[in-house]
Chains A and B, each alone.
Chain A
Amino acid sequence: DIQMTQSPASLSASLGETVSIECLASEDIYSNLAWYQQRPGKSPQLLIYYATTLQDGVPSRFSGSESGTQYSLEINSLQPEDEGDYFCQQSYKFPLTFGSGTKLEIK
């Protein structure tokens, strides 16, 4: 199975700041990576797919990038509604696998 190592496990940032979350794949997944946000008490929402493509309706302050097997989610100009859990998922090979998640707190 492809292992997805996600970091950090948690982070705290202030309104307006920029944060970055990383996922490292154990092998090449050829950009087949999705990022999700799960606000408290809500169902997960797809943010980005194919590593860099923004899902319809997702604010442009969210962006994805890649470098080899390392994938990053960047959130610019943090807003209060950005608080929640973020996780990655590789969609290249079955079984589909997920990162361990990052809890983002807005100070």
Chain B
Amino acid sequence: EVQLQESGPGLVKPSQSLSLTCSVTGYSVTSNYWGWIRKFPGNKMEWMGYISYSGSTAYNPSLKSRISITRDTSKNQFFLQLNSGTTEDTATYSCARLDNSGYYFDYWGQGVMVTVSS
């Protein structure tokens, strides 16, 4: 069974980087596409970006200058780094697998709440 689990600090200071890890079990990150999605207070959701089976990436243009998604295939993990955090980055961050045949998410992690505050 494919399982994803997010981990990382729950509190980040403004101007600092937000760094999260998604650990995947039951499937290799060298197959499919793997994405990050966040849900803001008030429930608006935003697709942040993905890393592909080959390591290529695509990002939401709204974040393009601040975001980086990388991976460690030996640990079967992928990572999110969001630089220059502001209070507007306070959200629940989720990782998910994109299906091979279409850009929809067939497996999700539980999500981790990150607060950006001094």
Contact = CB atoms under 8 A, between A and B. Distances in A.
A43 B112 CA distance: 11
Contacts of A100: 43-44
Nearest to A48: B104
A95 B103 contact: no
Contacts of A43: 4, 94, 108-111
A43 B109 CA distance: 6
Interface in A44-75: 44-46, 49-50, 55
10 contacts: A36-B105, A44-B94, A44-B108, A46-B105, A89-B104, A91-B102, A91-B104, A95-B47, A98-B47, A100-B43
Given A98-B37, A101-B43, 20 more contacts: A32-B103, A34-B105, A36-B105, A43-B108, A43-B110, A44-B94, A44-B108, A45-B108, A46-B106, A49-B102, A94-B60, A95-B47, A95-B62, A96-B47, A96-B103, A97-B47, A98-B46, A98-B47, A100-B44, A101-B45
Interface residues of A, number: 22
A19 to B, nearest CB: 19
Interface in B60-118: 60-62, 94, 96, 99, 102-106, 108-111
A14 to B, nearest CB: 24
B94 A87 contact: no
A66 to B, nearest CB: 15
Nearest to B60: A95
B45 A98 contact: yes
B58 interface: yes
Contacts of B94: 43-44
Query: How many residues of B sit at the interface, in one of the four size bands?
Result: 20 to 34
A21 to B, nearest CB: 14
Contacts of B45: 87, 98, 101
